[in-house]
Each structure stands twice: as C-alpha cells, then as structure tokens.
Amino acid sequence: MATTKTHRAANFAQAAVYTLIVIAILGVANFLANRYNKSFDATANKKYTLSDQTAKVVKNIQGDLTITYWDRPNGFPNAQDLFDRYKGLSPKVDVQYKDVDKNRTEAIAAGVKNPLPNIFVKVGNKTETAKSLTEEEVTGAMVRALKGGDRTVCFTSGYGEGSTTDTTGGEGLGNAKDLTEKNNYKTQVVPLIPKADIPMDCTILVVAGPKRDYLQPAVDAIKTYVENGGRALIMLDPPLQFKTTIDENPGLVAVLDSWGVKMDKDLVLDLSGVG
C-alpha cells in the first residue's frame, strides 16, 4: 500500500508540475508581449511616442545601440521617460544610467563635462553626443554616429535661393558658408533643377529663401531626404509683393504641414532699432 508520505509527495509533485507549466505559459506570453509590444499614446501631442523617423532610424541600425546617460540620480526619472520609448523600439537598444558622483573615474575617462547631463549615443564603435534630452538631439546623434565621416551642409539652388557665392549682406549666404567651413563642415550646393536629387550624405539641407514655387520633383526630393533621416533648415520669406516677388511655394508648405509645421504668413516688426 502506498504510504502517506509517498501520497503526499505525489500530490505535491503534481501541484508543482502544474504550477511550472502555468509559469512557463505565462512566461512565454509575457516574452512575446514584450517583443511585439503595441503602444497606444493617449496624450494630446503624443508626447511619449517617438516619431516615425526615429523609429525608422532605430530599426535600421545594424549593430548594437548604447545610450549612456550621465547625471545625478534625480535626473534619471525624466530621462527614463524618453529612453524607455527608445528601448521599446528595438531590443537592440541598451540604456545605461550612470551616476556622475559614484563613477567619477569612469566619468572623467568618458569625457563627461559640465553642464550635466551628458548623453552619449554609441552605434557600433562610433560615439556621438546629444546636446539635450530631446528626441531630436538623441536621434540626431544616432544619425550622426551612423553616418560618421565628413559632415556636409548642402544648400539648395535653382529657385532663387540665397547664393553661397554672394558675400554681400542681405540675402547672400557667402559669409554663412565661410563660417560653416571654419567649423569643420563641408559645404555643397545641390541644384534642384533640372533634376532634384538630394544625396543622403548631406548632413543638413539648407533651403534659404527660394523665390519661386518649388516644382513637385523638388518637393518630393526634400520630403524623401528628411523622412529618411536627413535634417533640413528651411527658411521661407513671407510671400509679399514688395521689392521682389516671392511665391507662396504651396508644394513645400504642404510638405511642412504634413510634418506638423504650419507656415503663417506673419510679419515681425522689430521697432527696437537693435536689429
């Protein structure tokens, strides 16, 4: 006859097995849920959701991505708000929170400087710095690390934009170009006619006050460039008819609108005499 001891052991074993099975099932469910997470951001500006651009950039990263955040611990929660979102994009993203006071030697070796916080973004073996705790900066640092190499400022031309050879004041970009090159950036002029093709190795695209409407190919080129991770500085003059005619540029305005930027046709009058 089975003794009580073996009976009890058998019961216990059965319960234990059952429990382990349940743990396994729940474990798998959670693991899958973490991999294939669906996020629903109920805040008004979707402030806790990263933009599609960022998502694209992160997903396309081949190697590992490590973000190191150097600060005092009281800044960690804020950082976590942002970095959790990055972590949610891909399991390849690793975030390290480092206390400046506790890891002094490491901090110095890594080149941590005041003011805090310092944010280092490392892709593969290239490290870039994000200048502030914002999506733009962090993703920007990522993009820069990815690209590496030389940094080029590209100026569009062909539609009456400011010219980089014009060093007179007013509309010329000549001085700006010189300054840029002094800061170790290369410059390049990207003509948008006859064919509009913006090379992706342009670190930033400058649209400096075109006077005529951009044709569709030009608009498309700019859209493609930006949405693939490029950065653009777009300066549009108000469409006044004063000394010169400046077109409204509806194509470009429409693209900007799709990015959430509205172009109001306003004038700023500076009566202080300083400007």
Please report, as ranges, the residues that interact with another protein according to CB under 8 A: 1, 3-5, 7-8, 11, 15, 18-19, 22-23, 26, 29-30, 33-34, 36-44, 48-49, 73, 76, 80-81, 84, 88, 94-97
- Residue among 4 and 168 whose Cβ is closer to another protein: 4
Minimal distance in Å, beta carbon 43 to another protein? Answer: 4
Please choose, from the candidates 109, 186, 55, the residue with its C-alpha nearest in 3D space to the C-alpha of residue 120. Answer: 109
Minimal distance in Å, beta carbon 28 to another protein? Answer: 10
- Residue among 49 and 187 whose Cβ is closer to another protein: 49
- Residue among 98 and 144 whose Cβ is closer to another protein: 98
Minimal distance in Å, beta carbon 82 to another protein? Answer: 11
Counting every residue written for the chain, the total comes to 275
SS3 call for 228: coil
Minimal distance in Å, beta carbon 86 to another protein? Answer: 13
Report how far residue 95's alpha carbon sits from residue 66's, in angstroms, rounded to the nearest whole number: 6
Please choose, from the candidates 73, 68, 64, 65, the residue with its C-alpha nearest in 3D space to the C-alpha of residue 118. Answer: 68
Minimal distance in Å, beta carbon 134 to another protein? Answer: 16
Q: Which residues contact 145 (CB under 8 A, 6 or more apart)?
A: 121, 122, 123, 124, 126, 127, 128
- Residue among 39 and 216 whose Cβ is closer to another protein: 39
- Residue among 3 and 183 whose Cβ is closer to another protein: 3
Minimal distance in Å, beta carbon 32 to another protein? Answer: 8
SS3 call for 180: helix
- Residue among 27 and 148 whose Cβ is closer to another protein: 27
Please choose, from the candidates 96, 86, 83, 37, the residue with its C-alpha nearest in 3D space to the C-alpha of residue 58. Answer: 86
- How many CB atoms sit inside 10 A of residue 47's CB? 11
Strands 186-191 and 126-130: unpaired
